Amino acid sequence: MRRLLAPRIFAFVILTLTLFVELVSSLYANQAGVIDWHHQYIGTPKVSFFHKFVSRGAYVLIASDRNVLASINVRSGNIDWRQVFDENENILAFKGYENTAISVSQRDNDYIVRSWESHSGFMLWENRIKNVRIDKNSNPIIENDAPGVDVIFAANNLGILILLEGSTVINLNVTDGSQMWRSDLTDSSTIFYKLVEFKEKAYGVGLKKSFSSYTIEVITYDITNGISKLQSLNSKVGNIKDMIVLGGSIQDGFIIWNEGGFIRVNRLGTLVIEQSSLEELYENVIPSFANANGKLALLDLNLGSRTEFLVEVPTKEGNTAAVFKVDSESGRLVALYDLEEKSENSLYSATFDKNSRLIISRSRVVAEDVAKVDIIAPGTGLVLGNYEIPYSLNSYGDLKKTVLDVDSKATGYRMLVTSADGSIHFWKDHDMVWKSEESLAHTIEAEFLDLPERKLWTQEVDELAEQPEESETISPLARYIRRVKTHIEQLKDFPAYLTAYVQRFIIGDHEAELRFTDKSKFSLHRDTFGFRKLLIFVTRTKLVALDTINKGQIIWSRYFGNDVFEFNKIFIVRSSTVKYPPLVVAIGIQRDSKGKIVTRLFRLNALTGENFIPTENEKYFPSELSLPIITKRILKLPVEEPDERTHIIALIDEELKFHIYPNHENAVKAFIQFAPSFYFTLSDDIGEKSLKGYKVVKNNVQPFDITEVWILNFPEGESIAAIGRRPQNEKIASLGRVLGDRSVLYKYLNPHLVAIATLSTSKTPATLNIYLIDIVKGSILHHATHENVGYLHPIRIAQIENSIVYHFWSENYNEKGYVAVVYELYESEIKDQRFESPVFSSFAHERPYVSAQAYMFPYGINAIGVTITKHGIATREFLFALDTDQVFGVSKRFLDPRRPQRVLTNEDKEEMLIPYDPAIPDNKKWVLSYHLPVAGIRQIITSPALLESTTLVLAYGLDLWFTREAPSKTFDVLSEDFSKGTLLATIFGLILGILITKPMVRRKKVNARWY
């Protein structure tokens, strides 16, 4: 009786402990920003300008190609405010005016004009403009750099004039955005692209298509009432780039165009045309133009009402340029300054200082790692600055755009520079003040890379690297001495290690240890808990590697813009193993010299970003490769070639040929061995109407042929909306689920199972179909239908182990809102029953038992991720990227189809089930990203740490956000709030107590003997 009690007490202790463990971990306020980091991005600027308004200082306003409006602090590079538009709402124009900024964007067929408070980012008003004639086909001159959209501010607050689609002009009230007048042009052969306003009249300048060229047309508006008058100029313009429009507001406006051998100038509002001969220009006026070797280009410097502009001429070795001005009195051209010939491609930008002096910058990259900026005042010919700025051509590519500004105290020249990879740099005089890796806003894919162990690195230099023959020649004594030397070498790091250890002990900061090791020789290595990994990103034309610790610091980046038009895949083909560096392969497309599309492959050392060239097998393993194919699908095969131990990559081209990389003899052998059990699908992209299963034909000739094994046509009107595959790095701890009565439901774990969601939009609301398909034989294992589903809303599906979660918008008669459905697949509905065959085969006729449950979800989502831990023991957590720009973690225990819809029985309690509730609670404590605005997330990926409790989470899209998540709390490390001080104090207290009481007790005992 008494003996039985002991285990019961233990059970009680454990029970009370588990009661204290919360269902889902959440953060304390002081943990925010310690383990997680967040990089905010805006994308590559389309429009950027310095905006100054009274005392608030200067900031840069940017409209980007990711449809983001942002204000950036010039001193720190921090984002002051940011507005992220929907993906389908393109920003066409952005312009600042006093303390507001006006944006024009297009969504479907509507134009939206919004006014923003420039320092806070609050919207002041918006106006939707409808029924604008949109006829892209007949508008050949509407291009990205001249979209037929222009915004100007009329003097005396007479309104904001906006030109849309080259055909409609509206005048909006400055204060509330209400429309004052609107004028639609009916003649579709004329496209207007620029507005100028002066003397209470507005002018629209456009081009009218005539026989082989264009004629300039000018429309004049009365600003107050919009009454217009159309005029044609006697002119011939070959291209929109041959014409610029300058001036306006406080002075007259001018049209300048290049026609025949002349540069012609027209003062707006008149029909007078002044002209200057190019011949004269080339021979006498601008000396450097004598070497001209091509057509001149007119460059608008965007100087507002100023009439200076630039003429750029290519020369044999580079290019040259000169500054011109239209004299507002005479309306003639005046040459101001010859910028002279330079052999590198230069970028120009201009501004004027507080004395209205024009200042021009000329920037160019002069060497691999140096950019040069000349600051010139063309009026006086003074060179104000001549700066060399560190700039890595290898990381960022060439310069693409510069915007110059003069400090309000006129002490420095600062410049916002956009580079070819899409990044933003901010230069001030000699210095790079800040930069932002905006290429990451265009991330295509990202991967976690495990770092090699530190021990292996030291052993590599020590003994492991040596060959057996070599070892024989070394005497034991020499080896002993070498070993001792190594240890002494390591001893040097000991003081630093000790301080880091004490620091870690006191403040409980795990990263202190990592910071210490950063200084050591081999800085890229794994930490004790496996929290440190590399994140390898592939963007449009760039590879970037970030550290998961140190706030996501960039380890290396490499620009491929000269070799690759666009990347589409990245694979880690070899993870960190003893003495071999980890390898990645990036695959992209490029046009060759004949304009044909080729596929490019690059194999890099993942720790440095350099091309990896193996010492021995060089000829088999080209690190850069060009294949004359257009790939349809690229796959990483779960098979390694024997020489370098890299995974084989399969490329399937348009003609359904199957190429492998690397393709040397041994790799082919390894692949042929593997091929019979290899099945894959094609046409499994979003929007496809059928799914096809393939298999490689065994013909031993490269490229291999593939054959269609099965085809699955979805019913009429259905197309694929989302696909859920099991993650390759998932770990499964147990084959079954133990129920309350100690019986087991065996999990259905089919590695070939793909979950596909299709939408049928033939009627609205749409119908959602879910298919679970075995891709080996193309059989549908389960099918479910949801009626009345929103087709505009994203549908997302995730699969892990034996569970599948999907999310959609439902508008049934009796429910309206977001729905999350969870499936769990078991081998049988009956407890303890398994499939008969001990080996799982897709060719068997067994179907899983699907148990499902649906919940109302509190938010709309953009992506689903699942936590993956080292052994898969910790409770899984589904991570949802919410449309409120947050990441929300829901424990598997809440998304569990076994949640009982009754009062909990003892067995349910034993299984630790939570009673069913139709809604997933909107618990703000489950928001892992707390109040951070993690915008534009498209994907959430996870990777296990060495601790079973912890998983590393990365969300990417526009922003990057990284954290370590412990779905069932950090049960394997001491909690951060564990007070080590108290523990030490208690121990010392007890020791002290013993020391004091020991003599006392002894004396008492002795006394007791006496009396």
Partner 1 sequence: MRRSMILCLVLFFLGLFAIPSFCIKTYKIEGRLVTLKDLPQLEPTTKIILDGGKYSALIRKNGKFVIDDVPQGSYLLEISSKKFIYPKIRVDVDSEGIKPFVTITGSEWSNTGPSLQYPLELPARSTSEYFMVRDGFSITSLFANPYIIMMGFSVLLLFIMPKMMANMDPNALKELQENQAQNPLPEMPDISTTLANYLSGGNNNANVERRRN
CA dist 851 and 822 (Å) reads 8
Q: How far apart are CA 997 and CA 985, in angstroms?
A: 18
Looking at the Cβ atoms of 493 and 883, the one nearer to partner 1 is 883
Question: CA 32, CA 928: separation in Å to the nearest integer?
Answer: 10
Looking up tokens 């087709």, which residue turns up?
791
Q: Is 84 in the site for partner 1 (CB under 8 A)?
A: yes
Complex with partner 1: residue 135 or 922, whichever CB lies closer: 922
**The residue type at 552:** G
Separation of alpha carbons 376 and 385, rounded Å? 7
Nearer Cβ to partner 1 (255/882): 882
Query: Restricting to residues 23-42, which ones interact with partner 1 according to CB under 8 A?
Result: 26-32
Nearer to partner 1 (CB atom), residue 431 or residue 815: 815
The H-or-E segment that residue 497 falls in is helix 494-507
Residues touching partner 1: how many (CB under 8 A)? 58
Question: Mask 64-83, x = binds partner 1 (CB under 8 A)?
Answer: -----------------xxx
Give 65 or 883: the residue with its C-beta nearer to partner 1: 883
Which among 21-29, 510-518, 587-595, 704-712 is the span making contact with partner 1, rule CB under 8 A?
21-29
Q: How far apart are CA 323 and CA 311, in angstroms?
A: 6
CA distance 822 to 802: 10
- Out of 133, 454, 657, 793, point to the residue binding partner 1 (CB under 8 A): 793
- The smaller minimum CB distance to partner 1, of residues 195 and 879, is found at 879
Query: x/- contact string, 840-859, with partner 1 (CB under 8 A)?
Result: ---------------xxxx-
Q: In the bound complex, what is the minimum distance in angstroms from residue 930's beta carbon to partner 1?
A: 4
Nearer to partner 1, 373 or 795 (CB): 795
* DSSP character at residue 623: S
Q: Residue 469 or 977: which CB sits closer to partner 1? A: 977
- Measured from the CB atom, is 117 or 741 closer to partner 1? 117
Pairing of strands 815-826, 803-812: antiparallel
- Shortest Å, Cβ 784 to partner 1: 21
Task: Annotate 584-608 with DSSP letters as a single string.
Answer: EEEEEEEE-TTS-EEEEEEEEETTT
The reply on whether position 922 binds partner 1 by CB under 8 A is yes
Distance CA 927, CA 913 (A): 22
* Nearest distance in Å: CB 538, partner 1: 29
Q: How far is the CB of 931 from partner 1 (least distance, A)?
A: 5
CA gap 463, 482 in Å, rounded: 9
Residue 789 Cβ vs partner 1, minimum distance, rounded to whole Å: 11
Residue 699 in the binding site for partner 1 (CB under 8 A): no
Give dist(CA 651, CA 634) in Å, integer: 5
Q: What is the dihedral of CA 145, 146, 147, 149, to 10 degrees?
A: 120
Question: Which range, of 645-653, 691-699, 788-796, 994-1002, touches partner 1 by CB under 8 A?
Answer: 788-796
Nearer to partner 1, 528 or 979 (CB): 979
Alpha-carbon gap, residue 318 to 344, rounded angstroms: 6
| Closer by beta carbon to partner 1, 145 or else 977 | 977
For the CB of residue 916, give the shortest distance to partner 1 in the complex, in Å. 11
Is the separation of the CB atoms in 798 and 865 below 8 Å? Answer: yes
The answer for residues whose C-beta is within 8 angstroms of residue 538's C-beta and 6 or more apart is 443, 444, 445, 446, 567, 569, 570, 586
Rounded least distance, CB 121 to partner 1, Å? 4
What is the rounded CA–CA span in Å between residue 894 and residue 914? Answer: 7
Which residues within the stretch 946-985 sit at the binding site for partner 1 (CB under 8 A)?
977
Candidates 188-196, 548-556, 722-730, 925-933; binding stretch for partner 1 (CB under 8 A): 925-933
Residue 97 binds partner 1, judged by CB under 8 A? no
Question: Closer to partner 1 at the Cβ: 463 or 976?
Answer: 976
Task: For 431-490, give the secondary structure using H, E and C.
Answer: EEEEEECHHHHHCCEEEEEECCCHHHHHHHHHHHCCCHHHHHHCCHHHHHHHHHHHHHHH
Judged by CB, which is closer to partner 1: 32, or 992?
A: 32
How many CB atoms are closer than 10 A to CB 959?
Answer: 23
919 is a site residue for partner 1 (CB under 8 A): yes
What is the rounded distance in angstroms from the CA atom of residue 180 to the CA atom of residue 132? Answer: 16
Strands 566-574, 583-591: parallel, antiparallel or unpaired by DSSP?
A: antiparallel
Nearest distance, CB of residue 913 and partner 1, angstroms: 18
**Stretch 927-946: interaction string toward partner 1, x if CB under 8 A:** x--xx-x-------------
Q: State the Cα–Cα distance between residues 248 and 196, nearest whole angstrom.
A: 5
Phi first, then psi, for residue 8 (nearest 5°) are -65, -40
Q: Between 363 and 886, whose beta carbon lies closer to partner 1?
A: 886
Stretch that binds partner 1, among 315-323, 482-490, 505-513, 914-922 (CB under 8 A): 914-922
- Map residues 125-164 to x or -, x wherever contact with partner 1 holds by CB under 8 A: xx-x------------------------------------
Residue 842 tokens, joined: 């897709």
For the record, the structure tokens of 17 come out as 């402990």
Of the residues 87, 98, 117, 654, which one makes contact with partner 1 according to CB under 8 A: 117
d(CA 622, CA 151): 53
Q: What are the backbone dihedrals phi and psi of residue 669, each rounded to the nearest 5 degrees, phi first?
A: -60, -50
Rounded Cα gap, residues 240 and 870, in angstroms: 60
Helix or strand (DSSP H, E) at 394: helix 393-396
Q: Does 669 bind partner 1 (CB under 8 A)?
A: no
Q: Could you tell me the smallest distance in angstroms from the CB atom of residue 45 to partner 1?
A: 20
Cα(first)–Cα(last) distance of the chain, in Å?
43
**Nearest approach, Cβ of residue 815 and partner 1 (Å):** 6
Pairwise CA distance, residues 382 & 375, whole Å: 9
Report the distance separating Cα 148 and Cα 195, nearest Å.
Answer: 10
Window 320-379: residues binding partner 1 (CB under 8 A): none
3-class secondary-structure state, position 386: strand
List the one residue from 783, 816, 1002, 1003 that touches partner 1 (CB under 8 A): 816
Q: Which stretch binds partner 1 (CB under 8 A): 118-126, 429-437, 463-471, 688-696?
A: 118-126
How many Cβ atoms are within 10 Å of 472's Cβ, its own excluded? 7
Site string for partner 1, 621-660 (x = CB under 8 A): ----------------------------------------
The helix or strand, by DSSP H or E, that contains position 665, with its residue range, turns out to be helix 665-674
504: exposed, middle or buried (Cβ count in 10 Å: 0-12, 13-18, 19+):
middle
Q: Is 560 helix (H, G, I), strand (E, B) or coil?
A: coil
Q: Smallest distance from the beta carbon of 837 to partner 1, in angstroms?
A: 43
Residue 787 binds to partner 1 (criterion: CB under 8 A): no
- Residue number, 483 or 980, with CB nearest to partner 1: 980
Q: How far apart are CA 853 and CA 876, in angstroms?
A: 17
Q: Collapsing DSSP states into helix, strand and coil, what is residue 440?
A: helix
Among 860, 872, 897, 900, binds partner 1 (CB under 8 A): 860
Q: Which stretch binds partner 1 (CB under 8 A): 435-443, 571-579, 609-617, 880-888?
A: 880-888
Does 792 participate in binding partner 1 (rule CB under 8 A)? Answer: yes
Does position 19 interact with partner 1 (CB under 8 A)? The reply is: no
Q: What does the binding site for partner 1 look like in residue numbers (CB under 8 A)? A: 1-2, 5-6, 9, 26-32, 81-84, 114, 117, 120-126, 128, 790, 792-793, 809, 811-818, 855-858, 860, 883-886, 917-919, 922, 924-925, 927, 930-931, 933, 977
